[in-house]
Amino acid sequence: MRLCLRTRLLYVLFVPLLIVIAYIGTYLSYYICRFSGHPVEKCLLSSNMRLIPGNHIYNSLDLWSRTDVTRLSASGFIFRFSGHPVEKCLLSSNTRLRPGNHIDNSLDLWSRTDVKTCTSWGAPIMWEGMFDPHVYDEYHKKTGTSVALTVFAIGRYLEMYLKDFLTSAEQHFMVGLPVTYYVFTDAPESVPAVGLGAGRALEIVRVQRQERWQDISMMRMRTIADAIQSRIRLRHRYVFCLDVDQVFAARFGSEALGESVALLHAFFYLSPVAEFTYDRNPNSTACMETGDFYYHAAVFGGTWQSVKNMTESCYRGIMTDKENQVEALWHDESHLNKYLYRHKPSKVLSPEYCWSTEVGYRREVRVHRLLWAEKHYDMLRT
């Protein structure tokens, strides 16, 4: 009996201790690799090595110009760090992005040499330093731009996140422009009162609560499309659709407006396509073999016409999947990625526009405009 007790005591005390030690060990080794220039993180190829046979363009890369960062990943060579030609905007410096005097022609794609500032199809990727906020704000004030911001606050997401989301949006989201928040909720009476600036309004739209959070997330596409059709299109040129579990922390301004706008996922903006978490199940309509970027469904937008097409198309894909009894890996985000691969966005937002502190420090991310709030999935998704 006593022995039994002692054994139990041993387990109670030592097992948690071992777990803590293992955890700290993992964290420390990760830390050392990432930050201290540990040799494991470097490119281990000898300096006369060619990456690809023949005179492939990649052979022009100077992998040894940077000795402080890796140039190679487990999955082959990739180009994660600054100063790499492939990562940059390949347009010549007198290229105009758009015909005429489109506002996006005011962007300086070459003011940032450490990040990719345009896509292969000529859409700007928005980073701090590329745009003049006043030029954008003045233009949109002059043209009478008005913006709808849709947000879903269902179940406990409402009490947990909505107030901070709205309060911080008043400080940072499209300040100076007319904005209407469309709050979709199953509990209209619980929507907090938030002081709104001039020209800003809030509308509550009652929606049915779905059983599973996956369904809430997917039905959102249908609900947004309906709201655009019934009210948004009559009042607003632009729509932004955001997740509620986020907090604005710096300017998220009119420079982000465009025909169709997508956000680079903070976890994947430096990753090669092979690492993107696209849906790879051929039975799903969201299945994709390859793509351009991994977009984050926490932020997307555009003109109401574009967002209507986007959300309707995602909804159709989701319903077809339901009929076939499959569900895409990341639900509505998988469908959104498929849509945006087929219909290229006209503007791409850098991860400044939805940063996660979990990623850690990144030199090129100079501003955190919107931050993921702490997740409480254990409480929320039950």
Provide the annotated binding site. Answer: 152-154, 157, 243-245, 265, 277, 333
CA proximity to 163, closest of 177, 174, 178, 153: 153
Contact of 164 with 245, CB cutoff 8 Å: no
Considering the complex, state which of residue 160 and residue 239 has its C-beta at the smaller distance from ligand NAG.
239
Considering the complex, state which of residue 258 and residue 351 has its C-beta at the smaller distance from ligand NAG.
258
Contact of 331 with 214, CB cutoff 8 Å: yes
Q: Which residues contact 283 (CB under 8 A, 6 or more apart)?
A: 324, 326
> Which residues ranging from 334 to 363 are in contact with ligand NAG (CB under 6 A)?
none
DSSP string, 155-191: THHIIIIIHHHHHHHHHHBSTTS-EEEEEEES-GGGP
Considering the complex, state which of residue 73 and residue 305 has its C-beta at the smaller distance from ligand NAG.
305
Tell me: does residue 82 bind ligand NAG (CB under 6 A): no
DSSP string, 126-162: E-TTSS-HHHHHHHHHHTT--EEEEEEE-THHIIIII
Tell me: does residue 311 bind ligand NAG (CB under 6 A): no
Q: Which residues contact 194 (CB under 8 A, 6 or more apart)?
A: 163, 166, 167, 170, 202
Choosing from 255, 327, 333, 352, the catalytic residue is 333
Give phi and psi for 88, each to the nearest 5.
-90, 170
Tell me: does residue 320 bind ligand NAG (CB under 6 A): no
CA distance 63 to 26: 28
333 is catalytic: yes
Among positions 283, 322, 357, 362, the unique one binding ligand NAG when judged by CB under 6 A? 283
The distance of closest approach from Cβ of residue 308 to ligand NAG in the complex, given in angstroms and rounded to an integer, is: 7
Residue ranges of the annotated binding site for Mn(2+) are: 243, 245
Among positions 146, 277, 305, 320, the unique one binding ligand NAG when judged by CB under 6 A? 305
Among positions 309, 319, 367, 373, the unique one binding ligand NAG when judged by CB under 6 A? 309
Neighbours of 370 (CB within 10 A): 27
Considering the complex, state which of residue 26 and residue 324 has its C-beta at the smaller distance from ligand NAG.
324
The distance of closest approach from Cβ of residue 306 to ligand NAG in the complex, given in angstroms and rounded to an integer, is: 4
Contact window for ligand NAG (CB under 6 A) among 161-169, 176-184, 270-278, 301-309: 301-309
Considering the complex, state which of residue 305 and residue 320 has its C-beta at the smaller distance from ligand NAG.
305
Question: Using N-to-C axis directions, what is the helix angle for 213-227 and 332-342, rounded to 10°?
Answer: 50
Tell me: does residue 281 bind ligand NAG (CB under 6 A): yes
The distance of closest approach from Cβ of residue 107 to ligand NAG in the complex, given in angstroms and rounded to an integer, is: 21
Residue ranges of the annotated binding site for UDP-N-acetyl-alpha-D-galactosamine are: 152-154, 157, 243-245
How buried is residue 366: exposed, middle or buried, by Cβ count under 10 Å (0-12/13-18/19+)? middle
Q: Any idea which residues carry the catalytic annotation?
A: 333
**Interacting residues with ligand NAG (CB under 6 A):** 281, 283, 305-306, 309
